[in-house]
Amino acid sequence: MNTTAPEALGTCRARLGETPVWCARSQSLLWVDILAQRLLRYWPDEQRTDVHAMPRFTSAVLLTREPERFLTVSQGGIALYHAGCRRFEKLCDYPADAIGTRPNEAAIAPDGALWFSTMDPAAQQPLGGWYRVSIERPVADCLLRGLWVPNTLHWVNGHIWFADSLRQRFYRASFHDSRLHIHQHYPVVGTPDGSALTLDNQLINARWGDSSLVRYRLCDTEMHPLDAIPLPVRQPSSCTFGGPQLSDLYITSARDGLTRPGALDGALLRITTPFTGSPAREFRL
């Protein structure tokens, strides 16, 4: 990838940084530190990071169609978060059939519904699955079970792409009859975590433990590896496009599990790319 060198933004170092989301309305980046129970919000123009306290195991803070009203996914359930007054408004409970797990990946689907995954907090058992919540049906419906650490979630030309980190695989699936149906799997080298998608369907994946991003081209049913970019953090966890032109790639990382973390482990990174991403989808209220 022909990009600028990775730049560390601010002094915050996350134990487990995850789920970066670019808010175009405010021109700010939101991401979570799952283990420290906090929402981090970076304002590029001011080079400032705000910190908001979050419930236990909050794995995502996503956009809604209302400014400064965000959707939070935590072990306590799904809620609307009013950032101005820092108030939560519960939308639905955490799935009863997933007690003992925690949420992990989360994204808004093209129809405005929330999809999120669950996992064993210790990543020792295949307790994970995918769930869906909509404003018309504010309950977490299970779409798929039996996964280890579900990560990455993107909709491309009628297909749904996701990964299972511990199985070191990507999957291509479809959604019908209220279930997620797997059609094909793609083994990869390394541990795939969260990903960003370009407008021309290139998937840029954070490789946990490998200090790199790996780029793929998604061509209908095929997944072609292209190249990689090294990063100055050992555990990159996810990435998303942001900035005025949606060409800046923001990358989250983690310090958790490292006996001797480096100065940048857990940092938020940014690189400028020749690619363009899509605006983040908003939960339909």
Which of the residues are catalytic? 193
Is 45 known as a binding-site position? no
Q: Which amino acid is at 129?
A: G
Is 141 known as a binding-site position? no
Is 151 known as a binding-site position? yes
Is 65 known as a binding-site position? no
Is 7 known as a binding-site position? no
Pairing of strands 212-219, 202-208: antiparallel
CA distance 102 to 62: 17
Within 10 Å of residue 257's Cβ, how many Cβ atoms?
A: 12
CA distance 7 to 269: 5
Cα 140 to Cα 79, 92, 211, 275: the distances in Å are 12, 7, 34, 35
SS3 content of the chain, % helix, strand, coil (to 5): 0, 55, 45
Residue numbers belonging to the annotated binding site for substrate: 102, 104
User: Residues annotated in the binding site, as ranges?
Assistant: 18, 102, 104, 151, 193
Annotated binding-site residues for a divalent metal cation read 18, 151, 193
